[in-house]
Amino acid sequence: MENNILKIENLSCNYSQIIALEDISLEINKGEIVSLIGANGAGKTTLLRTISALNKPKNGTIFFDGKDITKLDSDKRVGLGIAQVPEGRGLFTILSVEQNLKLGAYSRKNKNIDEDLEYVYKKFPILREKKNDYAGTLSGGQQQMVAVGRALMSKPKLLLLDEPSMGLAPIVVEEIFDVITTLRDMGTTIFVVEQNAFLALSISDRAYVLENGRVAISGKSKDMLNDSRVKEAYLGA
Ligand SMILES: Nc1ncnc2c1ncn2[C@@H]1O[C@H](COP(=O)(O)OP(=O)(O)OP(=O)(O)O)[C@@H](O)[C@H]1O
Ligand SMILES: [Mg+2]
Is residue 18 lining ligand 1, measured as CB closer than 6 Å? yes
**pLDDT for residue 110:** 64
CA dihedral over 229, 232, 236, 237, signed as positive or negative: positive
**pLDDT for residue 6:** 98
- What span, in angstroms and rounded, lies between the C-alpha atoms of 105 and 226? 41
106 pLDDT more than 80: no
Give residue 71's Cα distance to chain centre: 21
**pLDDT for residue 104:** 85
DSSP 112-173: --HHHHHHHHHH-HHHHHTTTSBGGGS-HHHHHHHHHHHHHTT--SEEEEE-TTTT--HHHH
Ligand 2 centroid–CA 173 distance in Å is 18
Is residue 189 lining ligand 1, measured as CB closer than 6 Å? no
Q: Which of 135, 137, 184, 193 is nearest to 166 (CA)?
A: 193
Beta strand residue intervals within 31-126, DSSP E: 33-38, 59-64, 67-68, 82-85
The reply to whether the predicted model has a pTM over 0.85 is yes
**pLDDT for residue 44:** 97
Q: Whose CA is nearest to atom 4 of ligand 1?
A: 15
pLDDT in tens, 1-50: 579 999 999 999 999 999 999 999 999 999 999 999 999 999 999 999 99
Task: Enumerate long-range contacts of 216-225, CB under 8 Å, 24 or more apart.
Answer: 218/26, 221/35, 225/198, 225/201
Q: Helix crossing, 140-152 with 114-123: angle to 10°?
A: 140
**pLDDT for residue 123:** 87
Tell me the pLDDT of the chain averaged across its residues.
92
**pLDDT for residue 154:** 83
**pLDDT for residue 108:** 65
1-81+158-167+190-237 is a CATH 3.40.50.300 domain: yes
Ligand 2 centroid–CA 148 distance in Å is 17
pLDDT in tens, 42-75: 999 999 999 999 999 999 999 999 999 999 999 9
Q: Which of 183, 96, 205 is nearest to 146 (CA)?
A: 96
In ligand 1, the atom with minimum distance to the C-alpha of 45 is: 22
Ligand 1 centroid–CA 16 distance in Å is 12
Ligand 1 centroid–CA 173 distance in Å is 24
Is residue 112 lining ligand 1, measured as CB closer than 6 Å? no
- What span, in angstroms and rounded, lies between the C-alpha atoms of 8 and 179? 26
In ligand 1, the atom with minimum distance to the C-alpha of 42 is: 21
CA dihedral over 77, 220, 195, 56, signed as positive or negative: negative
pLDDT in tens, 77-101: 999 999 999 888 889 999 999 999 9
131 pLDDT more than 70: yes
